[in-house]
């Protein structure tokens, strides 16, 4: 599907749109998104809840490319927390996972659902979800792609990770060395077995570097 297809969707055509292709070792995602969060602000979007969801975050691209390369989530339930337009979750679905898109903004979920359908992903659900209040549903893999951009987010994210790992799942976190991420990553070993390693991806003409933590149940 392309921009004309998206323009036939009443939930999407209110936005200025663009399509971006995310290429990986195992395939290609065709993603439709708003042109930028800045455009939404110019259209009068509330600055009290900045539309971060509208941008394609490089961390989600890095996760998507890893999923497409390794293709080890078939038959697993993958939870894309703060999914935005759904890049990481769509990649998981293309690799055979059952996907749960979670975001507090229903507009983000409209794009995530459209992008899932556009890329042939059928086994998904999309839930309006505020991770500062509710608890993430249990699954096999929880993806958090650059969510800790404010210090007030650290405690709720740690609570979500701890609950998910205690339920037998694994969590992947990516962070571009934000000061807020330092607090988050420092607490992860108290939750479970934690492996941290660097990961890089090319996006928008430049190389983006992240630290990636993989957390699973086990004695800290």
What local confidence, expressed as pLDDT, does residue 165 receive?
A: 97
All structural domains of the chain with their residue ranges? 3-44+52-216
At residue 138's C-alpha, the angle toward residues 210 and 27, to 5°, is 50
What local confidence, expressed as pLDDT, does residue 37 receive?
A: 80
What local confidence, expressed as pLDDT, does residue 220 receive?
A: 66
Residue owning tokens 């507009």: 107
Q: State mean pLDDT over 168-181.
A: 95
pLDDT in tens, 107-153: 999 999 999 999 999 999 999 999 988 999 999 999 999 999 889 89
Which region holds residue 80: left if phi is over 0, alpha if psi is between -120 and 50, else beta? beta
Q: How confident is the model at residue 43 (pLDDT cuts 50, 70, 90)?
A: low
What local confidence, expressed as pLDDT, does residue 48 receive?
A: 59
Alpha-carbon torsion 87, 81, 77, 121, what sign? negative
Q: How confident is the model at residue 45 (pLDDT cuts 50, 70, 90)?
A: low
Q: Is 42 helix (H, G, I), strand (E, B) or coil?
A: helix
One DSSP character per residue, 108-172 reads: HHHHHHHHHHHTT--SEEEEE--TTTS-PPP-SEEEEES---SGGGHHHHHHHHHHHHHTT-EEE
Q: Is 204 helix (H, G, I), strand (E, B) or coil?
A: coil
Structure token pair of residue 124: 């998904």
In this predicted structure, the answer to whether residue 26 has a pLDDT above a threshold of 90 is: no
What average pLDDT does the structure give for the chain? 92
CATH of 3-44+52-216, one of 3.40.50.150, 3.90.1200.10, 3.40.190.10, 2.40.33.10: 3.40.50.150
């Amino acid at each position: 599907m392309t921009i004309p297809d998206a323009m036939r969707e009443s939930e999407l055509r209110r936005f200025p749109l663009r399509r971006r292709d995310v290429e990986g070792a195992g395939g290609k995602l065709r993603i439709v998104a708003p042109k930028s969060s800045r455009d939404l602000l110019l259209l009068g979007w509330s600055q009290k809840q900045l539309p971060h969801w509208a941008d394609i975050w490089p961390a989600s691209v890095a996760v998507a490319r890893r999923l497409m390369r390794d293709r080890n989530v078939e038959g697993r339930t993958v939870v894309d927390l703060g999914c935005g337009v759904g890049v990481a979750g769509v990649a998981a679905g293309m690799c055979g996972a059952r996907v749960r898109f979670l975001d507090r903004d229903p507009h983000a979920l409209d794009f995530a659902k459209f992008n899932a359908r556009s890329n042939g992903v059928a086994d998904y659900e999309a839930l309006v979800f505020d991770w500062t209040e509710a608890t993430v549903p249990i699954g096999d893999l929880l993806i958090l792609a650059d969510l800790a951009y404010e210090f007030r987010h650290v405690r709720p994210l740690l609570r979500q990770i701890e609950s998910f790992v205690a339920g037998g799942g694994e969590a992947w976190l990516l962070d571009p060395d934000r000061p807020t991420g330092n607090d988050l990553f420092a607490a992860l070993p108290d939750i479970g077995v934690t492996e941290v390693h660097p990961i890089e991806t090319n996006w928008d003409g430049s190389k983006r570097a992240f630290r990636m933590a993989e957390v699973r149940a086990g004695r800290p």
